[in-house]
Amino acid sequence: MFARAQSLTIRHVGRKRPALQDLDLEWEEGERLLLLGPSGAGKSTFALCLDGLIPHALEAHWESGTLTVGGRDTRSASLAELTQDVGVLFQDPDTQLVMLETDDEIAFGLENLGLPRNEMRKRVAEARATTGLGPATPRRLDALSGGTKQRVTLASLLAMRPRALVLDEPTANLDPLAAREVVTAFAALATRRERSFLVIEHRLDPLLRFIDRVAVLGDDGRLALAGDPESVFMGRASDLDRLGIWQPELAELARVVGAEQMPRDVDEAAALLIDRWPRGAAVQRAERAPGRITGAAHDVAHRYRGDDHDAVNGVSLELYEGEISAIVGANGAGKSTLGLLLAGVLRPSRGTVAASDDVAYVFQYPERGFLATTVRNEVRYAATIGRRIARDPDALLERFGLARLADANPHSLSHGEKRRLSVASALVTSPTVLILDEPTFGQDLRNVRELVTILREERDRGTTVVLITHDLALVAELADRAIAMAGGAIGFAGRPDELFERSDLARFGLVLPPAAGAFARARESDRAIPPLTGLGAARTALVGRETVRA
Amino acid sequence: MNRSFSVARAVALVGALVALVAFFLPWVTYTQRGFSGADLASTLSPALAAVKAGGIKGLDLGLWAVALAAVLAAIFILASWVRAADPREGRYRLWAAAAAITGLAFAVLFLASGLLGGTPDINFAPAAIRTDNAVKATVAKAIGAGDFVGIGIGVYLAIAGFAVAAIGAILARPATDERTWRTQDYVLLAVLAVVFGAIYWAWLGPYLGIETILAGVSAQLGQELLFGLWYVSGLLGGYIIRRPGAAFLSETLAAFAEVLLGAPAGPVLIVTGFMQALGPELTFAATGYRRWGWGTMAVAGAAAGIVALPWNWLRLGYFALDPGVMLGLFITRVIAGTVAGLAAKAIGDLVAATGSLNYFALGRERVREV
Amino acid sequence: MSALMRRDPTVKLAVVLAVSLLLILIVDPVTPALFLALAIAVALAGGARPRTIARALVPLTVLGVGFVWSNAVFAATQGPGTWTIGPFHASESGLRFGLAIAIRGIAIGILSLTFVWSTDPTDLVVSLIRHVRLPFRLGYPVLAAYRFLPFFTDEYAQVRLARRVRGARPRGPLDRLREAVGELVTLLSDATRRATQIAIAMDARGFASATERTYYREARLAWGDALFIIGAAVTTTALLLLSEWMGALRTVLG
C-alpha cells in the first residue's frame, strides 16, 4: 500500500465546511488511481496533503484522521522526505514555473536535493527524453505553449525520481490540442508502470486505458464510491449523475446504444457504433432564420501595445439576435481579443466595430471584474449604476448555488464559484449581447447543465450569446454557429457540425470531443453512420427509435 | 543560529563606537585639546560662532549627549551579550537601541543647527526666498574652506554609526523567538516589490509630468512627494507579515525590483531603499511588533522619510540648497511619509478583507469564514 | 554575446555601485560629463543599440532639467554671476551645481541601464547567491516574482478594462481615487494569491527544506572579471585625473 487516508478531515483556513470529511481511501503501490469529485476543494486538498504541503507548507485545520504516505505519517514526516516521494503537477501551467529557462526549471528540484552538477545534467537529459522535450524546445519559458509548460513541470518532477506522481487537473487550463500533448506524456509514463499514479481530471476519455481504479468523492468531502473503471462508469452511472460528476463520453455513448461493455478509446467506441447504431437515425437540422443584427465588426484589427504582431487581423463578423455563437481556437488565436472588440471595450487599430451599448462581458479571470465587497452587491451592481434589472438577483444566486455565500467577499470564493458569480452578474440585466469567456472552465456537470439551461432561455428571449471556449462538447450541444480562429483571423464560420467535419481542426488547436470522434471514426468505415456532434445529438437522433438491446 | 546573533551584536557595537569616534573626528582634526563645547564652537569656524551667538542654548549639553548616547549604547549591547542566556535580555538591546536613536537625533539636530544658524527668514513666495545673508555667506565660506565638510563627514558617520547600532541591536534576536520565515513570506515580499515596480513604471510618465510642473517651484518637491509612493511598498510588506526584518526586506526588495526594471537612479537605489527601510523597521521594533494601528503606521511612514534624510541629503545634494527650502522639503517629506504609512494600512486592510491574506499574519487576525 | 555580457554579474554590480557612489561625491559638472561619455561608450560596446540608449536618455534628461532649475534658483549661496529670469534669481554657482547633479544623475542612470541590459537575471541571482551569500530563500523568490511582471502588467490593464465593461464611469477626482484604490486592491489580492501558489510550487520541489543546495548554473569568476575590475579602476582614475588637469574637478571634500 502506498498511501492510506483514515477518517481524514481537513478544513481550509477561511472556510466553514471541511474540504475532506472522514475520508477513508487506499492507494496501492503501483496503482493508477483516478479521483473524481465535485469541482474545487476536496480533490486538490487531498493532492496537497499527499505531498505533505498540507500541513508543512500551507496551513489548514487538520480536524481529524491520519494520512500515511510511503509508510510515513505525513504530519510527523519532514517535507523533504515527502516531496521526494510524491511529485504533484497542478493545473496552472504558469504559476508552477519558478525559473526563466527550461533547463533551469527542470533542474530546480535537483538543486534543492543537493545533487552534484553532472548528476543534474544526466537527470535533466533523462527527464527531457521521457516527456518528449526535444532539442527544438525553446529555452525561454515564456516562449512555450501551455502544453509544453506543463511537460516541463512534469519533467522537473520526474527528475527528482519520485515514487508516485499526482496530477491535479493538469489539462484544465489548456486548449484541447495542448491537453492531448500532456495526456500523451502521461500515457507514456503510465504504461511503463514505474511508479504509482493518482489522477484528478474532468476530461476522462483519453485516460480510460491507463486507469486501474476509480474513487469518487461526494459533495461533502467523503468517499462516495470506488471500484474498477468498468463497473463504476457503466454500473454506477446514475450515482455519478446524481453526484454531478463528469463521466467519460464514451461510456455514456455505450449506454445510449445499449451496450454493456465500456469502450476504452475512440476506436473501440467506433467499432461499437458500427455494430449497434441503428442506421438511419440522424438529426434534422433546424435552420434558424437570422434575426436583426445586434453587433458587427468590419475588417477589424487590433494590436496590443508593445506587441510585434496583430492579435486580431482582418476580421469581419455579424452578431444576430436570438443566436448562440461560439468562438473557438487555440490559446493566443485572438478569441478573447475579438470578444473585447465586439463588446466595444477595446478600440480596434483598424476597421470599425458597431457594438450595442447593452453588452455584458464575463471575463476569463472573473476576479478582474469584481467591483463590490459582497457577493450580493456584486450581483446587484448593475442596479447601483442605474441599469435595469431584468432577472431577480437572489433567484440567480440560488440557481447558481451561491446563495449561502451572499455576504462573503467575492475574492474569497473558489474558482468555480467566482466564475458562476460573474456569469450571474452579467445575466441580471438580461443584456442585448452577452459575451462569455470560458464560462465552463473547471465547472461541475451540474453547474454546466444549469448554465446551458439559462443560456437557452436567454437565446429564446432574443439575447445574442457569444461563447469563447475550448469546450467543443459545449459548442456541439449549445451553439447555433461556430467560428474558428487561427492566428488572429477567422478560418471558419458556420454550423458546429460543419466544423466537426473538417480535417484541419489541429490548425485551430482543436480536437474532436470523444463522442463526436467516435462517430467520425465509425464513418470512415461505414458512411451510413451519421456525423453526429456529441451525446446530445445522439440522444436526439435515437428518440422514438428502439435502441438495440443485447 | 548563535553565530548571527553575535554578528548582529558585533555590528551594533562597531556602529556605536564609530559614532563615538566620528562625532569628534573634526575636533580631533583641528587638534583641540580641551573639549568644552563653547570653546569648540568659537574656535572652529565662523559658522558655528553664529550658532553660539544666537543658536541652540546648551550646546555643551548637546555635544556631550552624543558621546554619552554612544557609550550607553555600547554598554547595553555588551550587557545583552554577556547575559545572552537571560530570557529577558531583549530589554538590554532595546535600551541600546533607544540610546542609539537618541544619539542619532542629537547628531541630526546638531547638523541642522549648524546649517540653519540663526532664525532664518522663511518666506515661500518665489520672489522672496532668501534667508539672512550673513549666515549664507558664512556657510558658503565654510563650504569653500572645507571646514564645514570636515564637520559634515564626522556628523554623517556618526549618524550612520548610530543607525547601524540601533539596527544591530534590534535585529540581534534569537531565531527561536518567532516562527521561522516560510517560502510564502519571501515570495509575498518579492511579489509586492514587483507589483509596485510595475505600478511605478506605469506611473513614471505622470511622475515626470509632475516633476516638470513642480520644477517651477522645486524639482525636489516633486521628488519628495513621490518618494511617498515608494515607501508604501515597504510599509505594506511589514504590515502584512509583521515580523522582524519584514519591512526592511520589503523596502529593499522594492528598490532592487526598481533597479532591475531599469529605474534611472541605478543600483544606488538599493542603498536608498536600505535607508528608507530603516525608519519603519525601527518603528515596528519599538512597538515590539505588536501594535499595528493607524498611529504606528503613520509614525513608521514618517520615520521612513526622516531616517533616510541624511543619505538623500548627500545623494541629491540637498546641502547646497537654501535652508528655507530645505525645511520645506523636510516638512513635505514628513507629510508624504505619514500619508504613505496610512495608505499602506488602508490598502492592507482592504486586501485582507478579500481573504487573500489568510495565510499571513495580517489575514490571520481577521479571517472571515465562508 | 558581447564581452560585457559574459562578465560575472556581481562584479558588474559592484563596479557600477562603486562608480555611482564615487560620482555622488563629485560636485562639478565636467567630471560627470566625462563619465557619461564613458558610460555611453561602454553601453555601445556592450551591444546596446543607439536607439535604446537615446530612448533611455529622455526621462533622465527631463529629471535632470528639473534639478538644474531647482538648484540654480534655490541655491543656498548666491554667489557672483547672479542674473534674473522673471521673478527668479539664478546664480552661476547654483547653476553649476545643478548641472553637476543633473549630469551625474544621467551618467549613473546610463551605467545602471547598461548593467541591466547586459545581465541575465538568473545569472545575477545565482551569482549573488554564490559570491555575496545572498540567501537563496530570498534570491529565487525574487527571480520567480520577476518572471510575473508581464502578468501583473497585463492584469492591471485587464482590471481597468473590466471596470469599463461593467459600466463603471468615475465622475470626479474622488470617484477616480476610489476606482484606483479598487483596482490596486484587486491587483494585490490576485498577486498575493499567486504568491502563495508560487511558494507552494517551489516547496513542492523541496525548496523550503533544502539544506545543502547545489547550483545548475556555474558562477565562476574568470580572468576577464579581474581585468574588468582593473580596467574600471584605471579608467575611473584616468577620468578623474583628466578632470583635475582640466582644473574642473570639485568634490564634496573640497
Q: What is the pLDDT of residue B64?
A: 64
Identity of residue C13: L
* Predicted confidence (pLDDT) at residue A442 exceeds the cutoff of 80: no
Which residues in chain B have their CB less than 8 angstroms from residue A412's CB?
354-356, 368, 370
| C215 close to B (CB below 8 A) | no
Confidence of residue B253 (pLDDT cuts 50, 70, 90): confident
Which pLDDT score is estimated for A219? 84
Polymer length in residues for chain B: 370
* C153 CA: distance to closest CA in chain A (Å): 12
* Sequence-separated (6 or more) residues with CB below 8 Å from residue A156: A105, A106, A107, A108, A109, A127, C205
pLDDT band at B310 (very low <50, low <70, confident <90, very high): low
Report the residue from C165, C189, C199 with minimal CB separation from A411. Answer: C189
The tens digit of pLDDT for each residue in B99-126 reads 787 777 766 666 555 454 433 332 222 2
- Which chain A residues have a beta carbon less than 8 Å from that of B353? 373, 409
Q: Could you tell me the three cell numbers for A66?
A: 491520519
Sorting pLDDT into bands at 50, 70 and 90, what band is B44?
very low
User: What is the residue whose three cell numbers read 527544438?
Assistant: A136
- Chain B interface includes C103 (CB < 8 A): no
Per residue in C130-144, pLDDT (tens digit) is 888 888 888 899 889
**C158 vs A94: CB contact, 8 Å cut-off?**
no
Cα–Cα distance measured from residue C62 to residue C74, given in angstroms and rounded to the nearest whole number: 18
Burial bucket for residue B213 (CB in 10 Å: 0-12, 13-18, 19+): exposed
* Chain A hits for B184, Cβ within 8 Å: 57
Which one of A57, A59, A412 has the shortest CB-CB distance to B370?
A412
CB pairs under 8 A between B and C: 222
Min Cα–Cα distance to chain C from A530, Å:
43
Cα angle B25, B27, B33; round to 5? 125
Q: What is the pLDDT of residue B118?
A: 38
Report chain A residues whose CB lies below 8 A from the CB of C206: 79-80, 83-84, 109, 112-113, 160
Nearest neighbour of A411 by CB, restricted to B182, B184, B356:
B356
pLDDT confidence bin for A188, thresholds 50/70/90: very high
How far apart, in Å, do the first and last CA atoms of chain A sit? 39
Residues of A in contact with C144 (CB under 8 A): 98-99
Residue that the C-alpha cell 551618467 belongs to: C107
Strands (E) in C57-192, as ranges, are 83-85, 88-90
The most confident of A483-487, B62-66, B198-202, C95-99, by mean pLDDT: A483-487
**Residue B135 in this model has a pLDDT that exceeds 60:** no
Helix ranges restricted to H, A430-488 = 445-461, 472-478
Identify the top-confidence range among A482-491, B266-275, C82-91.
A482-491
Using the beta-carbon criterion (under 8 Å), do A412 and B368 form an inter-chain contact? yes
pLDDT, tens digit, 9 for 90 and up, residues C40-84: 888 888 887 888 888 878 777 877 776 676 666 665 555 555 666
∠ CA C171-C173-C178, rounded to 5°: 85
Assess contact for A406 and A397: CB atoms under 8 A.
Answer: yes
Q: What is the mean pLDDT of residues A101-111?
A: 94
Name the neighbours of A, counting chains with at least 3 Cβ pairs within 8 A: B, C
- pLDDT, position A200: 93
Q: Return the C-alpha cell found at B227.
A: 518618494
Q: What are the residue boundaries of the structural domains of chain A, listed by start?
A: 3-247, 248-285+515-550, 293-514
Q: Domain limits of chain B? A: 2-171, 183-364
Among candidate residues B107, B115, B174, the one with its CA nearest the CA of residue B143: B115
pLDDT computed for residue B176 by the predictor? 46
Best probe of the A interface among C143, C153, C166, C217, by most A CBs < 10 A, is: C166
Query: For residue range A120-152, what is the model confidence (pLDDT) as tens digits?
Result: 999 999 999 999 999 989 999 988 988 999 999
> What angle is formed at CA C73 by the lines to CA C68 and CA C75, rounded to 5 degrees?
90
Per-residue burial over A28-44, b = 16 or more CB atoms within 10 Å of its CB, e = otherwise: eeebbbbbbbbbbbbbb
pLDDT of residue B227: 64
A338 vs A324: CA distance, rounded Å: 16
pLDDT at B174: 54
Q: What is the rounded average pLDDT for all residues in chain C?
A: 82
> Which one of A44-58, A386-400, B73-87 scores highest in mean pLDDT?
A44-58
Model confidence at B166, pLDDT cuts 50, 70, 90, reads: confident
Q: Candidates 3.40.50.300, 3.40.50.670, 3.40.50.920, 3.30.450.90; correct CATH number of A293-514?
A: 3.40.50.300
pLDDT average, residue stretch A206-212 = 91
Average confidence (pLDDT) over B212-224: 56
**B347 Cα to chain C: minimum distance (Å):** 7
- From CA A265, how far away is CA A257, in angstroms rounded? 16
Across the A:B interface, residue pairs with CB atoms under 8 Å apart total 38
Q: Distance, in angstroms, between C151 CA and closest chain B CA?
A: 10
Residue A405 touches chain B, beta carbons under 8 Å: yes
Please answer yes or no on whether B369 and A16 come within 8 Å at the CB atom: yes
Please, is A50 exposed, middle or buried when counting C-beta atoms within 10 Å of its C-beta (0-12, 13-18, 19+)? buried
> Which pLDDT belongs to residue B225?
61
Question: How many residues belong to chain A?
Answer: 550
Nearest-5° angle of CA A41, CA B242, CA A62? 30
For C69, which of B127, B215, B360 is closest by C-beta distance? B215
Q: Which of B2, B352, B18, B14 is nearest to B168 (CA)?
A: B14
**Closest Cα in chain A to B185:** A57
**C106 vs B158 pLDDT, higher one:** C106
Segment among A159-168, B78-87, C99-108, C180-189 with least mean pLDDT: B78-87
Q: Is the pLDDT of residue B230 over 60?
A: yes
Answer whether C81 touches B (CB < 8 Å): no
Which of A346-360, B52-66, B186-200 comes out lowest in average pLDDT? Answer: B52-66
Contact assignment for C105 to B182 by CB distance below 8 Å: no
Mean predicted confidence (pLDDT) in B329-336: 79
pLDDT tens-place string over residues A366-411: 888 888 889 999 998 877 777 788 888 888 888 888 888 888 889 9
Question: Which among C196, C199, C205 is the nearest to A83, CB-wise?
Answer: C205
Residues of A in contact with B361 (CB under 8 A): none
The more confident residue out of A247 and B77 is A247
The pLDDT of residue B152 is: 53
Q: Find chain A residues with C-beta within 8 A of B369's C-beta.
A: 14-16
Cell 458569480 belongs to: A421
Distance CA A547, CA A550 (A): 10
CA of B360, closest CA in chain A: separation in Å? Answer: 10
Place of cell 513570506: B185
Q: What residue of A is the nearest CA neighbor of B180?
A: A57
What is residue B222's predicted lDDT score, i.e. its pLDDT?
A: 59
Q: For B184, name the nearest residue in chain A, comparing CA atoms only.
A: A57
* Residue carrying C-alpha cell 529577558: B88
DSSP bridge partners of A436: A362, A467
Q: What is the ipTM of this complex?
A: 0.86
Pairs of residues, one from chain A and one from chain C, whose beta carbons lie less than 8 Å apart: 146
Nearest chain A alpha carbon to B359: A59
Instruction: Kindly determine whether residue C66 and residue B212, on different chains, have CB atoms separated by under 8 Å.
Output: yes
Across the range B74-92, mean pLDDT stands at 72
- Residues A296-348 have pLDDT tens digits of 888 889 888 777 888 888 899 999 998 999 999 988 888 989 998 998 888 88
Contacts of B183 in chain A (CB under 8 A): 57
Chains that touch B (3 or more CB pairs under 8 A): A, C
Please indicate whether, in this complex, the C-beta atoms of A15 and B370 are within 8 angstroms of each other: yes
Q: Is the model's pLDDT at C205 over the cut of 70?
A: yes
Cell of A534: 456529441
Kindly determine whether residue A57 and residue B358, on different chains, have CB atoms separated by under 8 Å.
Answer: no
Residue with cell 452511472: A237
Looking at residue B142, what is its pLDDT? 42
**CA distances to A299, A492, B183, B238, C20 from A317, in Å:** 8, 11, 49, 52, 57
Q: What CATH number does domain A3-247 carry, 3.40.50.12780, 3.40.50.300, 3.40.50.2300, 2.30.110.10? A: 3.40.50.300
CA distances from residue A218 to A47, A103, A156, A490, B253 in whole angstroms, order as listed? 16, 40, 32, 42, 45
Q: What is the mean pLDDT of chain A?
A: 89
Q: Enter the pTM of the model.
A: 0.81
Contacts of A113 in chain C (CB under 8 A): 206, 210
Taking each continuous run of H as one helix and of E as one strand, the counts in chain A are 21, 19
| Strand, coil or helix: A73 | strand
pLDDT of C93 strictly over 80 = no
Percent pLDDT > 70 in chain A is: 98
The answer to whether residue C9 scores a pLDDT higher than 50 is yes
Residues 6+ apart with CB under 8 A from A120: A107, A110, A111, C214, C216
Q: Which long-range contacts (CB under 8 A, 24 or more apart) does A261-264 make?
A: A261/A230, A261/A234, A262/A208, A262/A229, A262/A230, A262/A233, A262/A234, A263/A518, A264/A208, A264/A209
Contacts of C121 in chain B (CB under 8 A): 260
Q: Which has the closest alpha carbon to B340: B283, B286, B258?
A: B283
Rounded to a whole number, what is the distance in angstroms from the first to the last CA of chain C? 42
Interchain CB distance below 8 Å, A14 and B355: yes
Chain C nearest C-alpha distance from A103 (Å): 9
More confident residue, C188 or B41: C188
Asked if A80 and C209 come within 8 Å (Cβ–Cβ), the reply is: yes
Find where cell 529670469 sits: C85
Question: Mean of the pLDDT values across residues A417-430?
Answer: 87
- Chain C residues near residue B145 by CB distance under 8 angstroms: 254
pLDDT band at C30 (very low <50, low <70, confident <90, very high): confident
pLDDT given at position B36: 41
